């Protein structure tokens, strides 16, 4: 992509309405535009990051053996009356009528609709276990939408639903989700800590929330400092193995970690030595629930068990805040100049800055670098505008690409360009071929943050299908 052709409406001033850094930087970097309270349009840079996050979520869901589907955002109230939630949900649910006076709603979550799909098509325990999931827009009429995409009214969520014959099987599905979520967040460069949580309107007994530690988080968190040393890393997991999933769950949830909803001061003091007690704030980026037969029973979602008798299936639901993650990643990774994208979700891998647009040698060198970056399967963003160097650097720093190659007539006379890391700020002068070789090594097949056999750009959005 060339910046002269790209729609990147960068703001010079800090927007007054933004209270937290991620909201401010998303507006300044031209990633989103508010359409109305809590509802946003995604502009090219923001949309690209959103898609990268979505893609990681899909890949990890498929890896765990789950089935992607897509359900409608507008749903009939009738199904929600079957579960009793149409009356229970309250003002967060956006309700409307169609021209025939039928009650409709914009989906805040989709337990009823997915249960309806299940009961229509699945009749035998032999078809289980089964997990269906989607990445789809949700609407919740939040009283106070704020912090940009972090607490929107319309937001993108991955919601997955497991159907199992027994409670035991459903708890394995719960554990499998926990493991796949750990992997998912790490690929985005995030540490998200599973914490015991409250179940809210979805209902159920077992539930964990995943929290990213950040001062601007809306949840109070209390945890054992040892928990921040845990890493999932690149271990291989057999998602069908009950023992393997159970042992990861134990490893990541045995230490004290709770949100303000479930925190118990006395238990905290009993279980965690004083020097390891931490108190802070966190951003909820996901939640998993086991709720048994709460929906299957009233909605008649049964399968024929091994003895021929109908049994209501045991279910759980599992959510990831896909659009909130864009903000959460920025909260966790920025400095006073702008965003610092983790490699796994960056909109472009390399920014190319031409210090003297129109200078034949500089233009030529930039074009050649552009092609070489693409040949690595990486995405370059070339600042080919006729602008001052200072402005070009400020834009690159603001939009936070992990690497920048700076090209100017003076360096070229000595046969070098400059390769700069956004994260460390360190720069190196290198011949162009060596700069490319270095990028090739960084984004090579075993790059820990990329966690994929081939470079990202070679895969389209939909390779997970
Ligand atoms: N208003 C919102 N804006 C953006 N993302 C949201 C919003 N509400 C929920 N999410 C995301 O969707 C995920 C799954 O939804 P869930 O039903 O668990 O939300 P929730 O517990 O009601 O969220 P919260 O407590 O933050 O209101 C959450 O973990 C969060 O990351
Ligand atoms: Mg939640």
Q: Are residues 243 and 369 in the same domain?
A: no
**Contacts of 458 by beta carbon, 8 Å cutoff, 6+ apart:** 377
Q: Are residues 200 and 292 in the same domain?
A: yes
Map tokens 């190196």 to a residue: 428
SS3 8: coil
Q: Which of 337, 365, 392 corresponds to the end of one domain?
A: 337
Q: How high is the mean pLDDT of the chain?
A: 93
Task: Answer whether 40 contacts ligand 1 (Cβ < 6 A).
Answer: no
CA distance 353 to 364: 13
Task: Answer whether 157 contacts ligand 1 (Cβ < 6 A).
Answer: yes
Q: What percent of the chain has pLDDT over 90?
A: 91
Pairing mode, if any, of strands 334-335 and 338-339? antiparallel
CA distance 378 to 457: 5
Task: Answer whether 151 contacts ligand 1 (Cβ < 6 A).
Answer: yes
Confidence at 446, pLDDT banded by 50, 70, 90: low
Comparing 461 with 169, the larger pLDDT belongs to 169
Residue 273 CA, ligand 1 centroid: distance in Å: 32
- For a mutational test of ligand 1's pocket, the pick from 39, 53, 93, 157, i.e. the residue with the most ligand atoms closer than 8 A to its C-beta, is 157
How many CB atoms are closer than 10 A to CB 405? 26
Q: Quick one: pLDDT at residue 447?
A: 56
Domain count within the chain: 2
pLDDT in tens, 240-283: 999 999 999 999 999 999 999 999 999 999 999 999 999 999 99
Task: Answer whether 284 contacts ligand 1 (Cβ < 6 A).
Answer: yes
Q: Quick one: pLDDT at residue 452?
A: 44
CA distance 153 to 140: 5
Residue 217 domain flag: yes
Residue 122 domain flag: yes
Using the Cα atoms of residue 163, residue 165, residue 168 and residue 172 in order, give the sign of their dihedral. negative
- For a mutational test of ligand 1's pocket, the pick from 90, 319, 332, i.e. the residue with the most ligand atoms closer than 8 A to its C-beta, is 319
Comparing 196 with 72, the larger pLDDT belongs to 72
CA distance 232 to 13: 40
Q: Which of 290, 317, 337 corresponds to the end of one domain?
A: 337
Q: What percent of the chain has pLDDT over 70?
A: 94
Residue 158 CA, ligand 1 centroid: distance in Å: 11
Task: Measure the N-to-C terminal CA separation of the chain; round to a whole number of Å.
Answer: 26
Task: Answer whether 142 contacts ligand 1 (Cβ < 6 A).
Answer: yes
Exposure b/e, 271-295, CB count within 10 A at least 16 = b: ebeeeeebeebbbbbbbbbbbbbbb
- For a mutational test of ligand 1's pocket, the pick from 134, 282, 284, 322, i.e. the residue with the most ligand atoms closer than 8 A to its C-beta, is 284
Q: Are residues 287 and 430 in the same domain?
A: no
Residue closest via CA to ligand 1's atom 29 equals 286
Q: Quick one: pLDDT at residue 3?
A: 97
CA distance 226 to 186: 18
CA distance 437 to 458: 18
Residues, the chain, total?
A: 465
Q: Are residues 322 and 384 in the same domain?
A: no
What are the contacts of 360-369 at 24+ separation with CB within 8 A?
Answer: 361/409, 361/412, 362/407, 362/408, 362/409, 362/412, 365/407, 365/412, 365/417, 365/432, 366/407, 368/432, 369/405, 369/407, 369/417, 369/432, 369/435, 369/436
Q: What CATH number does the domain containing 454 carry? A: 3.40.50.800
Q: Which ligand places an atom closest to the C-alpha of 320?
A: 1
Q: Are residues 302 and 353 in the same domain?
A: no
Ramachandran quadrant class, 377 (left: phi over 0; alpha: psi -120 to 50; beta: rest):
left
Q: Quick one: pLDDT at residue 197?
A: 83
Residue 464 CA, ligand 1 centroid: distance in Å: 25
335 contacts 429 by C-beta, under 8 angstroms: no
Residue 161 domain flag: yes
Question: What DSSP string describes 313-360?
Answer: PEEEEEEEEHHHHHHHHHHHSEETTEE---TTT-S-SEEEEESSTT-H
Q: Which ligand places an atom closest to the C-alpha of 108?
A: 1
Q: Which of 305, 337, 369 corresponds to the end of one domain?
A: 337
Q: Are residues 277 and 320 in the same domain?
A: yes
Question: What DSSP string describes 254-265?
Answer: SS-EEETTT--H
Q: Quick one: pLDDT at residue 458?
A: 45
CA distance 252 to 250: 5
Residue 6 domain flag: no
Residue 15 domain flag: no
pLDDT in tens, 182-239: 999 999 999 999 998 876 655 555 899 999 999 999 999 999 999 999 999 989 999 9
Q: Which residues is 220 bridged to in the sheet?
A: 281
Q: Quick one: pLDDT at residue 443?
A: 85
CA distance 157 to 120: 25
Q: What is the mean pLDDT of residues 122-147?
A: 96
Does 450 have pLDDT greater than 60?
Answer: no
Domain that holds residue 304: 21-337
Residue closest via CA to ligand 1's atom 2 equals 151
- For a mutational test of ligand 1's pocket, the pick from 93, 184, 321, i.e. the residue with the most ligand atoms closer than 8 A to its C-beta, is 321
Q: Are residues 249 and 103 in the same domain?
A: yes
Residue 283 CA, ligand 1 centroid: distance in Å: 10
Q: Are residues 192 and 224 in the same domain?
A: yes
Which stretch of DSSP H or E encloses residue 178?
helix 167-187
Q: Which residues is 288 bridged to in the sheet?
A: 208, 318
């Amino acid at each position: 992509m060339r910046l002269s052709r790209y729609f990147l409406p960068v703001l010079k001033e800090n927007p007054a309405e933004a209270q937290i850094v991620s909201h401010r930087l998303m507006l300044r970097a031209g990633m989103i535009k508010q359409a109305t309270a809590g509802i946003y349009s995604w502009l090219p840079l923001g949309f690209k990051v959103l898609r990268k996050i979505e893609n990681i979520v899909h890949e990890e869901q498929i890896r765990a053996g789950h089935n992607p589907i897509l359900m409608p955002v507008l749903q009939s109230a009738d199904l929600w009356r079957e579960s009793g939630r149409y009356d229970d949900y309250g003002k967060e649910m956006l309700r409307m009528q169609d021209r025939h006076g039928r009650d409709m709603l914009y989906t805040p979550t989709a337990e009823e609709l997915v249960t309806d799909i299940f009961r229509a098509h699945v009749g035998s325990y032999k078809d289980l276990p089964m997990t269906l999931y989607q990445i789809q827009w949700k609407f919740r009429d939040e009283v106070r939408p704020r912090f940009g995409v972090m607490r929107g009214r319309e937001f993108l969520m991955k919601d997955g639903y497991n159907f199992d014959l027994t409670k035991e099987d459903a708890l394995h599905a719960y554990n499998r989700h926990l493991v796949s979520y750990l992997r998912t967040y790490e690929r985005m460069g995030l540490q998200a800590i599973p914490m015991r949580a409250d179940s809210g309107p979805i209902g159920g007994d077992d539930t964990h929330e995943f929290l990213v530690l950040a001062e601007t988080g809306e949840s109070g968190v209390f945890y054992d400092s040892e928990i921040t040393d845990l890493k999932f890393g690149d271990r291989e997991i057999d998602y069908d193995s009950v023992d393997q999933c159970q042992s990861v769950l134990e490893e990541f949830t045995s230490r004290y970690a709770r949100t303000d909803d479930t925190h118990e001061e006395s238990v905290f003091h009993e279980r965690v030595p004083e020097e390891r007690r931490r108190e802070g704030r966190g951003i909820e980026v996901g939640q998993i629930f086991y709720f048994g037969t709460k929906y299957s029973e009233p909605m008649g979602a049964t399968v024929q068990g091994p003895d021929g008798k109908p049994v209501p299936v045991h279910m759980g639901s599992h959510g990831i805040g896909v659009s909130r993650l864009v903000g959460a990643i920025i909260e966790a990774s920025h400095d006073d100049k702008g965003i610092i994208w983790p490699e796994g979700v960056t909109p472009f891998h390399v920014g190319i800055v031409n210090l003297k647009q129109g200078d034949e040698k500089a233009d030529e060198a930039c074009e050649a670098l552009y092609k070489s970056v693409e040949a690595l399967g990486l995405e370059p963003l070339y600042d080919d505008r006729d602008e001052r160097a200072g402005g070009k650097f400020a834009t690159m720093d603001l939009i936070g690409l992990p690497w920048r190659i700076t090209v100017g007539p003076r360096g070229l006379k000595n046969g070098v360009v400059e390769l700069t890391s956004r994260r460390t700020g360190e720069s190196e002068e290198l011949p162009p071929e060596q700069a490319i070789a270095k990028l090739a090594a960084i984004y090579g097949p075993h790059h820990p943050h990329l966690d994929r056999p081939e470079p990202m750009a070679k895969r389209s959005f939909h390779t997970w299908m």
